[in-house]
A and B are shown apart, each in its own frame.
Chain A
Amino acid sequence: DTEVTQTPKHLVMGMTNKKSLKCEQHMGHRAMYWYKQKAKKPPELMFVYSYEKLSINESVPSRFSPECPNSSLLNLHLHALQPEDSALYLCASSQAQGVPRPQHFGDGTRLSIL
């Protein structure tokens, strides 16, 4: 069992749909991350939240909209996605941004865009 919980595990959506991915951690971590991982590739950072504020946006298209409602929750809102956005979306958390500590990952949401 992982300490970072992501829902849903799988999501199929059309290009005109709006959906949200959710991530939750109860380790008291103050940094949370979204990564995108294509098959047989390493994870690529999308966003970093530090103390509930957006700290890093890796030039991600605006059809991906992150939100951090509180220190335990992280959402990724999806709208008008493209087929190339199909991937595994991983959420992670760490004690604090910039502190040399491990990142704890959830098992991801496998997203398919029709």
Chain B
Amino acid sequence: QVQLVESGGGVVQPGRSLRLSCAASGFTFSSSGMHWVRQPPGKGLEWVAFISFDGTNTQHVDSVMGRFTISRDNSKNTLYLQMNSLRTEDTAVYFCVRGPVRWPFDVWGQGTMVTVSS
């Protein structure tokens, strides 16, 4: 079945780095645009980043620009989010999501929790 499984979350101190991974299965990963979406505890959803099917086009929300980088390895059916210079306000559940260009988010991972705290 179509599935996205995130990993890599955890507790990290402010200023440190973390890399999230998302393993895709059950669909043609290399043909699909992918996103990261986050949700701080008790709050709403925030789109974080997008990468095109072939990795040539990436976009990030302003609040993470220059700190976070989305990437993918189509040979491994895996999506990544490299998070540097983490801040307490980055604390959230991070979801990996399938979302081709001009198509809604139809497949979501279960999420991985990132806690930034000293």
A binds B: no
Interface residues of A (CB under 8 A from B): none
